[in-house]
């Protein structure tokens, strides 16, 4: 399931300019001028930084001389034994350092108090996008859709289908009609051409029978159509307008054909108890979902902090785990156990998944292979991990080439994405095929799993 989640993260919908955990944000598609294969800013050597700079995302306390991912797990156990320690040392520092900024009474979600953070378990993500700009919503945050059935005409008795999205058609003085797009086509045509019919929007709660949202008149359509039109908007009652404009939920708000809430391998919650991989807040911090990196202005999370957040979420599948005084259970935390040693089917192995990407795009003579690899960065088999781990970038020495558990704060990911002006041009350079979203996702997944050496 983890691989399915990450594989679906290359969302083709461009985000807005939002900067909070609840909104899609601006995607970091690789753009910009190209680079010279031997440009010095691709990587660095360990002599350019002593690793102790106050701005560094790496933590000196638990790296381990061999870059062991489990050393960070031990550090997390020591530094963040409880949720309160995690809140005070990490969440407050990164998300809510001052009143009325960031996620302290300004952006969704509110993270300023322990109870406010805990309230986001099971909550849907990207909520502001539903009204602000639904076409930018991330697939994993799309809502569970409402259903539509016919109450008059040839299609009475049809089981109905899910609402995909509703488009308002405007005239000079306001809405003139609505197009209600559907997941499945309407099987039969209208009973009498030109005689509008009626549909019913329903919602299925978590428990109990379906509830009626509204009965909508003035419906026209054709046989096999994947949408119907509600005509004469000016003549509709206000309750019908409210149902069409705000109350009824579509399951494909970004209109890309994916009904995110209906796919268990894609659907996320802001905090998903027991499942850090499908918790939007953590995946946004790690850079595994579209949007600007988080936190925007404060020190990014270290590997130990990532492990602590993941294990806290994983242990929150019980009431005790979601309490203010919860003790974080690292011993039984799958994320901690798999950090550096993922399961065989993870899709995050170095030898089987990541190295073939480097072999094809990077690790050859004149670039990052051969006897004199560019910038001293050797990405050939047997040398990749040692060349990347705990090595600060020459261009941005406060950022390591790979920060275990945190792709968004790994210079390697920034460089292959060409994420912003701080990394100049993306890699591979001009004349070579850029990495695909799937290849970049594989590299990010490998880093998220603690860059295993297998």
Q: What is the pLDDT at residue 99? A: 72
The CA-atom distances, in angstroms, between 265 and each of 4, 140, 308, 318, 392 are 6, 9, 23, 22, 35
Q: What is the pLDDT at residue 421? A: 59
Structural domain spans, the chain: 2-124+265-448, 147-247
How many Cα neighbours within 13 Å face the side chain of 377? 27
In the block, tokens 């039109």 appear at: 229
Q: What is the pLDDT at residue 310? A: 97
Give the closest residue to 90 by CA, choosing from 323, 248, 313. Answer: 313
Q: What is the pLDDT at residue 333? A: 97
In the block, tokens 């797009």 appear at: 181
- On whether the CB atoms of residues 250 and 261 are closer than 8 A, the answer is no
Q: What is the pLDDT at residue 29? A: 30
Mean pLDDT by 10 residues, the chain (454 residues): 45 33 36 32 34 35 54 96 96 78 78 93 87 88 96 96 97 95 97 95 87 97 97 96 96 95 93 96 89 75 94 96 96 94 88 92 84 86 89 84 89 80 71 86 92 89
Full-model pTM = 0.78
């Amino acid at each position: 399931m983890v691989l399915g989640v990450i594989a679906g993260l290359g969302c083709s919908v461009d985000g807005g300019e939002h900067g909070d955990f609840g909104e899609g944000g601006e995607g970091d598609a690789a753009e910009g001028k190209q680079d010279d294969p031997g440009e010095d800013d691709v990587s660095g050597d360990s002599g350019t930084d002593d690793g102790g700079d106050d701005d560094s995302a790496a933590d000196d306390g638990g790296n381990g001389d061999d870059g062991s991912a489990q050393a960070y797990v031990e550090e997390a156990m020591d530094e963040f034994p409880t949720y309160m320690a995690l809140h005070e040392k990490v969440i407050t520092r990164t998300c809510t350092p001052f009143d009325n900024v960031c996620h302290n009474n300004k952006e969704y979600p509110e993270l300023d108090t322990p109870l406010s953070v805990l309230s986001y378990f099971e909550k849907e993500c990207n909520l502001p996008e539903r009204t602000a700009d639904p076409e930018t919503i991330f697939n994993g945050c799309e809502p569970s859709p409402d259903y539509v059935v016919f109450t008059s005409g040839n299609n009475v008795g049809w089981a109905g289908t899910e609402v995909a999205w509703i488009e308002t058609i405007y005239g000079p003085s306001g809405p003139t009609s609505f197009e209600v797009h559907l997941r499945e086509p309407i099987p039969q045509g209208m009973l009498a051409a030109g005689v509008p019919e009626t549909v019913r929007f329903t919602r299925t709660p978590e428990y109990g029978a379906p509830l009626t949202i509204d009965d909508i008149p003035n419906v026209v359509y054709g046989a096999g159509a994947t949408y119907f039109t509600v005509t004469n908007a000016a003549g509709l009652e206000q309750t019908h307008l409210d149902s069409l404009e705000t109350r009824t939920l579509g399951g494909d708000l970004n209109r890309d054909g994916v009904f995110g809430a209906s796919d268990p391998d894609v659907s996320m919650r802001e905090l998903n108890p027991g499942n850090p991989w499908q918790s939007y807040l953590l995946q946004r911090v790690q850079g595994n979902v579209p949007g600007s990196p988080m936190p925007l202005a404060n020190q990014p999370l270290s590997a130990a902090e990532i492990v602590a957040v993941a294990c806290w979420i994983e242990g929150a599948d019980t009431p005790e785990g979601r309490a203010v005084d919860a003790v974080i259970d690292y011993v039984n935390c799958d994320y901690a156990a798999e950090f550096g040693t993922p399961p065989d089917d993870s899709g995050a192995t170095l030898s089987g998944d990541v190295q073939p990407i480097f072999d094809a795009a990077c690790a050859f003579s004149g670039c990052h292979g051969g006897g004199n690899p560019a910038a001293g960065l050797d990405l050939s088999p047997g040398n990749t991990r040692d060349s990347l781990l705990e090595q600060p970038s020459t261009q941005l020495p406060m950022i390591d080439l790979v920060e275990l558990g945190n792709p968004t704060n790994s210079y390697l990911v920034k460089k292959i994405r060409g994420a912003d002006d701080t990394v100049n041009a993306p890699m591979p350079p001009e004349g070579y095929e850029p990495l695909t979203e799937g290849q970049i996702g594989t590299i990010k997944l490998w880093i998220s799993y603690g860059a295993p050496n297998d």
